[in-house]
Amino acid sequence: MRNNNPSMLSLFRSRHPQDEMPTCNDRIREFWEWFQQVAPEFRRTINEGGCDDLAEPTSAKVSECFPGFAWVYGPPSEGKVGHSFTLSGEGVECRQLLALHWLQQAPEIDGWSFHASRQPGPISGHVIKMAGMNFDPKEIWVTPSVDDDGERVDLTVWHPAWPDLEKRQKWGVVFLFLDEVLGEYGTGWWIGEIRLENDRLRDSFPLEELGEYVRQLSAAKGWKKFPPGVEYSLLKIRPSDEVYPRSDLLTLSTVAPDLFRDHREAKGELEDPFAGTGADYVYVSFDKNLLSVGNEVEERGELEDLLDGVLKSRRSGQCVGGGFGLRRGYVDLLIFDGKRSMDLIVGALRGSRFAKGASIEYFAKEKRKQAVRL
């Protein structure tokens, strides 16, 4: 069950006047306080077959605390009893990072388990209706081709109705089923190139068997994948001829490549990707001349560790990357607690050798005037 319908007058908002909007951590605390109160009743309701009755109150609370996120009730995690609740960023990197932070704050609640992404599951008998047709996963055939270097599987996908569908409809069917059988992260992790053809049917099998195929293959190959916010990507960048915030970047190591690319493509005019969530995407800018020649990466790493440690000690944020421009060094941060997070960053910087000439800048164009200069 999934719903995002915002409704219901919010007692939550009445606690936070407009000049003191709730932070991400405030919203997470509010959600878990509410869920702990309703959990026993919601568990009974689902046991009695009334899961649909939970749509309105759950949608209201999710829309209040995490606008734009999706949710679903489902079976418990393996080895658990009861039911599960999933808060999903729906494949959007910035929301996925917040969903993981939400999950880290989850309390132990009897009969419940929680997830920060849609989980893979069996899709046998799960029919999708599109363009007046019914699509059953046992009628969709996939032929895998293993990409050992990319640690992924390329797919040829075929259904007898392909000639009767528009291109976007065919892709819609394919990705809906892939996300169901592999989970929210799985399609991006494991699937490479996809072809919608019928030229490799000899080695094909029904799409509903793809999940087990990928599980066995990845285990045999020793392939490992990580959730958002964990694995770093090293990017080499050509500085822009135009002048805008961070247009001088040469290199960046980041666990949030989509956020970086969005800011780069917007040429510094990025609309707040975390609007309405109480979280912020910021960066520390400092003078590269403060670093020893030949030890630049290691010494920037010391600053990254310092800021990451002080933020994580209060569950107030995390470091998501660091880089160098022509003149400046940068450390990218995701913060969850508004001014409290900023105070932690300022305190750590002032106690370090990077304070002189440093600044804390917002990526969102709407918040650039809130920059803090040391």
Query: What band does 339 get if pLDDT is binned at 50, 70 and 90?
Result: very high
Token duo for residue 174:
């394919």
Residues 273-297 have pLDDT tens digits of 999 999 999 999 999 999 999 999 9
> Which of helix, strand or coil describes residue 243?
coil
Across the range 169-192, mean pLDDT stands at 92
Across the range 220-243, mean pLDDT stands at 93
Q: Cα separation of 282 and 169, whole Å?
A: 39
Q: Is the pLDDT of residue 9 over 80?
A: no
Query: What band does 8 get if pLDDT is binned at 50, 70 and 90?
Result: very low
Nearest to 179 by CA among 188, 168, 167: 188
Q: Cα separation of 351 and 349, whole Å?
A: 5
The DSSP symbol for 91 reads: T
Q: Is the pLDDT of residue 7 over 70?
A: no
Residues 244-259 have pLDDT tens digits of 999 999 999 999 999 9
Count of C-beta atoms within a 10 Å radius of residue 134: 10
Across the range 159-188, mean pLDDT stands at 92
CATH, domain range 233-373: 3.30.70
Q: Which amino acid is at 93?
A: E
Q: Could you give the percent of the chain with pLDDT greater than 70?
A: 95
Residues 58-78 have pLDDT tens digits of 999 999 999 999 999 999 888
Across the range 41-47, mean pLDDT stands at 96
Query: What band does 126 get if pLDDT is binned at 50, 70 and 90?
Result: confident
Q: Where are the domains of the chain?
A: 11-115, 128-221, 233-373
What is the chain's mean pLDDT, rounded? 92
Q: What is the pLDDT of residue 11?
A: 38
Q: Is the pLDDT of residue 138 over 60?
A: yes
Q: What is the pLDDT of residue 308?
A: 98
Nearest to 332 by CA among 269, 299, 284, 271: 284
Q: Which residues pair with 87 in a beta bridge?
A: 71
Q: Cα separation of 294 and 316, whole Å?
A: 32
Q: Which residues pair with 334 in a beta bridge?
A: 281, 318
328-335 and 249-254 strand pairing:
unpaired
Nearest to 348 by CA among 311, 373, 297: 311
The number of helices, as runs of H, and strands, as runs of E, in the chain is 9, 16
Across the range 104-118, mean pLDDT stands at 96
Q: Cα separation of 254 and 288, whole Å?
A: 19
Q: What is the pLDDT of residue 113?
A: 96
Q: Cα separation of 326 and 334, whole Å?
A: 24
Q: Is the pLDDT of residue 16 over 70?
A: no
